[in-house]
Amino acid sequence: MSAREFNFDGLVGPSHNYAGLSFGNVASFNNVKSASNPKQAALQGLAKMRALAARGFAQAVLPPQDRPNFRLLRSLGFTGSDADVLARAYKESPVILACAYSASPMWTANAATVSPSRDTADGRVHFTPANLNNKLHRALEYVQTTRALQAIFADERHFAVHDALPSTPAFGDEGAANHTRLCAQHGLDAVEMFVYGRVEFDPAAPAPKRYPARQTLEASQAVARKHGLAEARTVYVQQNPDVIDQGVFHNDVIAVGNANVLFYHEQAFADEQGALFQLRQAMAGVDAELTAIRVDTDMVSVQDAVHSYLFNSQLLSKDGGKMALVIPQECQENAAVSRYLEGLVASGGPVDELVHFDLRQSMRNGGGPACLRLRVALTDAEASAMHQGVVMTEALYHTLVAWVEKHYRDKLEPQDLADPALAVEVHTALEELARILGMPGLYDL
Ligand SMILES: N=C(N)NCCC[C@H](NC(=O)CCC(=O)O)C(=O)O
């Protein structure tokens, strides 16, 4: 059966700010406490969605989450009226207030792991929202993510939205950022590759020393079990702990796959040859042949990859069989990376086009084009069964741009999070958004 890959991009929320909350993510740390521009951030994301939809790629949007997270603040002992809660949190722990205000759900590659119906035992599309338990500001995202996915993929004949895994370090789960589906084409049998950073129950397994490994093997295995994936078509690969220590906090910062192509850095995996061998063997079982595009360290260093986000790109299949690589403009500003990319498109290989976007607002928090999207491959029947209000059209684009222009600030500094007016503005904006998207119960406001 034919299927199309929808990209669900996160709509950047009105409280987008730089709080330095992600230890191990160098951009987040380097830009801590600088002023953000939520309006520009949302418009940059929408421009990407619009341009890709206009090119004929299936594009949809996932809504931002309710912020500040008063439930979190109150559960940590900040009491009184909403204004009291904000004032006390700002005074006693501005970092906790920043966590409650984070717009991090914009990076929907971390929203969930998705297995298309072709891969699962019961023939439904399966979703497991990621618990993101490595970071406080992300650890409660799954609550609203689950709610949004259940609203969009409500039809249980086609979709299964699971609970997140237990929120404990043994099951650290960061979703699709560490998951790639390889196949001859979407809609055909595929191999699902899970990339993990450490093994909880094997203390002898290699692990990073400086920065945390956010994804465990045990979490990946649990997701595969819940989704009913066939063992022969599931591959687990360990990320190279040394690159985690250089700022590669998710696999999608150092590798991206699409159809039968895996585009990756030489140092991405703990055992490169072993990983390729496993993939080739599993893919032979689904009549697909792996095309591995390996980028050598002497062409692009790990540091250049982390700063330019070369691999945090979207690799999109075009009609006619070639692929476009959707990159952040930082790739063109990096001499080694832009030289490499020129050679890549001239090589006659699968990638024959570069599409670049200015996503600077998101990039400054460590989120490139691939972080901003969740891939959901759907058959035509499944695509018509999902909620249609989130599908990106020219009309929705213009409505959302007007909504952003009306509600978003163009500057947020750390002290602005203490302003009780901001919380009211965000709530007003989200109430209107739920109406725009036709999802009345989306927020519990
Ligand atoms: N690679 C993928 N798929 N996603 C990128 C996520 C970036 C996110 N940054 C942040 O959460 C920074 C927030 C701050 O510091 O204010 C993170 O580290 O989890």
Q: How far is the CA of 441 from the centre of ligand 1 (A)?
A: 27
Q: Write down the pLDDT at residue 345.
A: 98
Tell me if 58 is assigned to a ligand binding site. no
Q: Over range 358-362, report the average pLDDT.
A: 98
Order of strands across the sheet that contains 112-115: 112-115, 125-129, 159-161
Distance CA 253, CA 239 (A): 11
Residue-wise pLDDT for 127-151, tens only, equals 999 999 999 999 999 999 999 999 9
Q: Write down the pLDDT at residue 223.
A: 99
Q: Over range 142-163, report the average pLDDT.
A: 98
Tell me if 137 is assigned to a ligand binding site. yes
Q: What is the mean pLDDT of the chain?
A: 97
Q: Write down the pLDDT at residue 335.
A: 97
Tell me if 31 is assigned to a ligand binding site. no
Ranges assigned E (strand) in 280-436: 291-295, 314-317, 323-328, 351-357, 373-379
Given a cut of 80, whether residue 1 has pLDDT beyond it is no
Query: What is the dihedral angle through the alpha carbons of 340, 341, 342, 344, rounded to the nearest 10 degrees?
Result: 90
Q: Write down the pLDDT at residue 323.
A: 98
Question: Which atom of ligand 1 lies closest to the CA of 132?
Answer: 19
Residue-wise pLDDT for 35-51, tens only, equals 999 999 999 999 999 99
Distance CA 156, CA 3 (A): 19
Given a cut of 90, whether residue 444 has pLDDT beyond it is no
Residue-wise pLDDT for 60-109, tens only, equals 999 999 999 999 999 999 999 999 999 999 999 999 999 999 999 999 99
Angle at which helix 394-407 crosses helix 38-54, to 10 degrees, equals 180
> Are residues 409 and 367 in contact, defined by beta-carbon separation less than 8 angstroms?
no
Given a cut of 70, whether residue 240 has pLDDT beyond it is yes
Residue-wise pLDDT for 199-216, tens only, equals 999 989 999 999 999 999
**Which pLDDT band, with edges at 50, 70 and 90, does 383 fall under?**
very high
> Are residues 8 and 61 in contact, defined by beta-carbon separation less than 8 angstroms?
yes
Which residues, listed in sequence order, are joined to residue 211 by a DSSP beta bridge? none
Task: State the catalytic residue, choosing from 250, 265, 307, 407.
Answer: 250
Note if 371 is an active site residue: yes
Q: Write down the pLDDT at residue 2.
A: 86
Distance CA 216, CA 231 (A): 18
Structure letter (DSSP) for residue 301: -
Share of the chain above pLDDT 90, in %: 98
Task: State the catalytic residue, choosing from 227, 331, 371, 382.
Answer: 371
Q: Write down the pLDDT at residue 187.
A: 87
Ligand 1 pocket at CB < 6 A = 18-22, 25, 28, 102, 104, 107, 109-110, 138, 177, 249-250, 252-253, 365-367, 371
Best residue among 195, 363, 371 to mutate for probing ligand 1's pocket (most ligand atoms within 8 Å of CB) is 371
Nearest to 379 by CA among 58, 17, 13: 58
Complex ipTM: 0.99
Task: State the catalytic residue, choosing from 174, 218, 330, 382.
Answer: 174
Q: How far is the CA of 289 from the centre of ligand 1 (A)?
A: 33
